[in-house]
Amino acid sequence: MEETINIQIPNFTLGQEIARGGMAVVYLGKQQQPKRKVAIKIVSPQGNDPKILEDLKKEGDTVAQFSHPNIVTVYACGVVNNCYYLAMEILAGGDLKQKIKNGLSELEALNIMVEIGSALEHAHKRGTLHRDVKPENILFHEDGQAVLVDFGIAKAQNTVSEFTRIGAVVGTPHYMSPERALGKKIDERSDLYALGVVLYEMLVGRKAFEGEDSFAVSYAHVHEPIPNLPKELNQYQPLLNKLLAKKSDDRFQTATQLVHQLKKYIKRLEPTTDTTYSFIPLPDYERKQKWPLLIGGGFLIAVMLAVGFYITKQDDSINHNISNLTPAQKIEMSQKLQAAGSFFNLENFSQAEVLYVEVLTKFDCTEEEARGRLKVINPQKLKQIIDACD
C-alpha cells in the first residue's frame, strides 16, 4: 500500500505514516482550510471494489454526523483514486492496548467503560453499530479522556452493505459476540458484549478467551463458560456475567443501562480512594461549652444501651436458627447473601429474591439484610416467611 502516499486528497496533504494494519494506513496530515493538523486514514479494499468504497463513504458520512466527546471527530471523508480516506482529529494519548500493558486501576477501568459506554449509547441511539470494539480502537486525548475510533466496519442497523456483508469475517475474533461468531443477526447488545471482553482485559491484563486460531477463539465465545475474575476482583463478577452472557437477552439491553450500573460501581469506589478522616481536638473554650451536651448525650447513650440490651435479649429468644447452623452452613449463607447483594445492586431482582428467600427459609428467618431487601422486592413473600418464622 506504499503507493497511497502519493494520493492527492483535496484540501489535505499527507505526511508521515504513523500506523498500518489490514487494509488501512494512517498518516499525519494537514488540512489547508481551516488550517490544522489531522490524522488521515486511507483504506484500499482488495480489488478496489467500487461498491465497497461507496459503502465506506456512506458509513463515514454517518460517523461524521456524531457529536460526542468520546467519539472521534471526523473532519472529512471521501473516495479518491479508488481509495477511501477519512480525516479526523489527532489523539496523542496512545491507545488502550498500551494502557492495559502498563496496568490500570479498577477506578481507571470503570471510568473508561463509562466513557466508551457513553460513546456507544450516542451511536446506538442514532441507529449505528460499531462492530469492532477492542482496545486498539479506544484512544486517548492527552488529558486521559477515552475516545472510540474506527467505525470503519460500522453499519446502520437494519441495513446491509457489501462491506459489512464481508464484515462477517472482519473484526477481531477475541471480541466477537457469540451471535456474531455464528453469523447471526446482531444488534447493540453485540457491541456491549465486546465492551465486556475489554473490561475483563482491563481488569485482568489478558484476553477473556484464547485459542490456537480464529475458529478456536470463536468457539470459545459460543461454548466456553464466562471466565472467573481473580478473588480480589470478584465484586465485578456479576457485572461481567451480565456483559458476557451467551444469550443477548440476558445482557444489558442498552448502553444506557450499562452506564447507569457502572456509575454505581464507581460511586462505591471513589470514597475509599481519596477520602481521609482525622480527629481534630476541640479548643479549651469549645470543650467547656460542650460539657452540658456531653452530659446529656451520655445519658441518652446509656438509655440506648439499655434498650439495645433488652432488644438483644428478645432477639435471642426468637433467633434460634443461626445458633444451630454448622460452620459450613454459615459460610454458605454468607456466600448466598453476597451473591444476592450483587444481583440486587445490578437490579436483577428475580435472582436476588430467590437467594434471599433461600437464606430466610433454609438458614435464618431473622436475617436482617435478607428481610430488608425482600421487603423491597416482594413484601407479600416476606410476610409469609415472617408468619411461618414467628
pLDDT tens by residue, 44-71: 766 567 777 887 887 778 888 899 999 9
- The domain containing residue 195 runs over which residues? 96-273
How crowded is the C-beta side of 98, counted as CA atoms within 13 Å?
A: 8
Please tell me whether residues 199 and 235 are part of one structural domain: yes
d(CA 110, CA 116): 10
Task: Give me the long-range contacts of 272-280 (CB less than 8 A, separation at least 24).
Answer: 273/107
Please tell me whether residues 267 and 308 are part of one structural domain: no
Please tell me whether residues 251 and 288 are part of one structural domain: no
**Pick from 59-63, 74-78, 138-142: least confident:** 59-63
| pLDDT of 315 strictly over 80 | no
pLDDT in tens, 194-205: 999 999 999 999
| pLDDT of 244 strictly over 80 | yes
pLDDT in tens, 248-270: 999 999 999 999 999 999 998 86
Out of 43, 60, 88, pick the residue that ends a domain.
88
Residue 26's CATH number: 3.30.200.20
* Residue 238 one-letter amino acid: P
What pLDDT is attached to residue 281?
38
% of the chain exceeding 90 in pLDDT: 47
Integer distance in angstroms from the first to the last C-alpha of the chain? 79
| pLDDT of 294 strictly over 80 | no
Higher pLDDT, 79 or 117: 117
Please tell me whether residues 258 and 183 are part of one structural domain: yes
Residue 259 lies in a domain: yes
Residue 278 lies in a domain: no
What positions carry a catalytic annotation? 132
Residue 385 cell numbers, joined: 416467611
**Pick from 19-28, 78-87, 272-281, 365-374: least confident:** 272-281
* Residue 218 one-letter amino acid: S
**Pick from 4-8, 122-126, 317-321: least confident:** 317-321
Cell 437494519 belongs to residue? 158
Higher pLDDT, 60 or 104: 104
Out of 252, 273, 294, pick the residue that ends a domain.
273
Please tell me whether residues 103 and 27 are part of one structural domain: no
% of the chain exceeding 70 in pLDDT: 77
Q: How far is CA 202 from CA 206, 208, 225, in A?
A: 8, 10, 19
Please tell me whether residues 202 and 326 are part of one structural domain: no
Burial (CB count within 10 angstroms: exposed 0-12, middle 13-18, buried 19+), residue 224? middle
What pLDDT is attached to residue 219?
92
Please tell me whether residues 237 and 290 are part of one structural domain: no
| pLDDT of 153 strictly over 90 | no
Please tell me whether residues 177 and 31 are part of one structural domain: no
| pLDDT of 368 strictly over 60 | yes
Banded model confidence at residue 232, pLDDT cuts 50, 70, 90: very high
**Pick from 67-71, 230-234, 328-332: least confident:** 328-332
Residue 109 cell numbers, joined: 477501568
Whether the Cβ atoms of residue 124 and residue 188 lie closer than 8 Å to each other: yes
d(CA 229, CA 237): 6
What pLDDT is attached to residue 62?
80
Helix (DSSP H) and strand (DSSP E) numbers for the chain = 15, 9
Residue 264 lies in a domain: yes
| pLDDT of 6 strictly over 60 | yes
d(CA 162, CA 390): 68
Residue 226 lies in a domain: yes
Please tell me whether residues 46 and 189 are part of one structural domain: no
Please tell me whether residues 106 and 72 are part of one structural domain: no
What pLDDT is attached to residue 350?
80
Residue 344 cell numbers, joined: 440486587
Out of 64, 88, 112, pick the residue that ends a domain.
88
Residue 279 lies in a domain: no
